[in-house]
Structure 1
């Protein structure tokens, strides 16, 4: 029986991160390395050939899932040939990111996560720096506007103003104090954004 060729370190890292993130949403930091290994389809020892510890893996997952680079990369990938599809994809991306922020910060009771959606302390005990939310908001707006820019002829306003509307819709709809659960559906928000409030009554 021929032994399978081992995956390169970066592919093993990607495999473990992808397998760990869904488990973190459910189990939080009580997640075991055995559960991670089973989900990834690897031996438990593989984890420690890629990461220093379980905490190192968890920190990597949280940092990646909540990072601005992860979000803006997905916003750039939302581009498509027509405005309605692009709008739905942008709203879906932002709503899913907000779902991740809420789920991961809720199940990961680390002091560094207590009052803002940021990664927990690093394995060496030092806390991750608090994000600059003004800069984060500005960067998200820029990427959404750039994704909408090819559809400028179909827009009744500038890509920048359209981006501000989509960001406000997604973040506002998701906010526990001002949003509503039925507004966290990207198709509903896209319809409102594209058609406005005036029109025939919904069935």
Structure 2
């Protein structure tokens, strides 16, 4: 007697919503607000009506996708996973890579949807600078004394340079990769300053030299 295959377990509402957000994100990047529920359903492999059972409308689904990508907590979790025992350059590169991916996704979403101004949740403390500074200090703790600026400025500089390099409207030129941004953060455009030579305690003095010849 043939055994009927077990039915796949039905997804919870939360899992279905997460699946739809995963499906709609690349479609938003490609089509912006004009993405259709038919396209979303085809991408997710579901019936179109499932979208409306998980979200009230296409706009609610798009807003949920935007809020997920603007939520800083997953990004903070990724930062906390960086091994503080790695060489300094590798830690900076890991920070830059995570930041660049986040900035690229966020600003591409905003552009695709024609949105401007601060991201949703900005006014609710989603960009808590003190928590970010604390994470940076933990990652870079072994090397903080090597920097010419305090820990809060280190994080600010990394974020500022990476943001400028990630957004086409700001960089106004060719793309930067993670290696280039890391080198720029660590060494600027001139590299490490040359060590200064101590002043000669007996600078050349023609009168001093003449006095020796006169002896």
Same fold per TM (> 0.5)? Answer: yes
Residue 7 to residue 38, structure 1, CA distance change in 2 (3 Å): same
**Residue by residue, what CA displacement relative to the aligned partner does 1:117-174 show, whole Å, maximum 9, x if unpaired?**
434xxxxxxxxx6x24997262574255145235x24761254332122112112334
**Residue by residue, what CA displacement relative to the aligned partner does 1:170-190 show, whole Å, maximum 9, x if unpaired?**
123345565354453222111
Q: Any stretches of 5+ residues in structure 2 without a counterpart?
A: 193-215
Residue 153 to residue 118, structure 1, CA distance change in 2 (3 Å): closer
Which aligned pairs between 1:7-26 and structure 2 lie closer than 5 A?
A: 7-26=11-30
Residue 163 to residue 13, structure 1, CA distance change in 2 (3 Å): same
The counterpart of 1:164, out of the listed 153, 156, 159, is 156
Aligned partners of 2:77 and 2:23: how far apart in 1?
20
Q: Which residue of 2 aligns with 1:124?
A: none
Q: Which residue of 1 aligns with 2:139?
A: 148
Q: Which residue of 2 aligns with 1:122?
A: none
Q: Any stretches of 5+ residues in structure 1 without a counterpart?
A: 120-128
CA RMSD after TM alignment: 3.1
Preserved CA contact (<8 Å) 1:148 1:163: no
Q: TM-score, normalised on structure 1?
A: 0.73
Which aligned pairs between 1:25-104 and structure 2 lie closer than 5 A?
A: 25-79=29-83, 81-82=85-86, 83-104=88-109
- Return 30-39 or 158-167, whichever deviates more: 158-167
Q: TM-score, normalised on structure 2?
A: 0.70
The counterpart of 1:108, out of the listed 81, 106, 113, is 113
